[in-house]
Amino acid sequence: MEIWINPACSKCRSAISLLDAEGADYTVRRYLEDVPSEDEIRDVLERLGLEPWDITRTQEAAAKELGLKEWPRDDTARDRWITALAEHPKLIQRPIITADDGTAVVARTEESVRDALSR
């Protein structure tokens, strides 16, 4: 499995601690440095079963500058959202764990990390 993290994020550090405590085999991706492409974001969204606006941190300064709260949340705007996430990775909700079974979870709680571990 792979976990997308921002090391400054307490939820990310908690998820890593739990993965380590459980002896999980995983790869860390510091997504602010190793920025996911639009295609990678599309893949993760498919694995999550979510839309780009569902994993967007709308309170970030970049979100406010872009006016994301006013953007449509439908198929016509989907690519625009994905482009914004790729160009401003800080907007991506974290941490995200891609599980070995092809699914993914936004791992902000202990329960969601354990869910990923059970897959």
Token reading at 52: 């780009």
Q: Which of 102, 108, 79 is nearest to 2 (CA)?
A: 102
pTM of the model: 0.94
Burial letters 96-107, b for 16+ CB under 10 A, else e = bbbbeeebbbbb
Residues 4-43: pLDDT tens digits?
999 999 999 999 999 999 999 999 999 999 999 999 999 9
* Annotation marks residue 12 as catalytic: no
Q: Which of 2, 9, 47, 90 is catalytic?
A: 9
Residues 59-118: pLDDT tens digits?
999 999 999 999 999 999 999 999 999 999 999 999 999 988 999 999 999 999 999 999
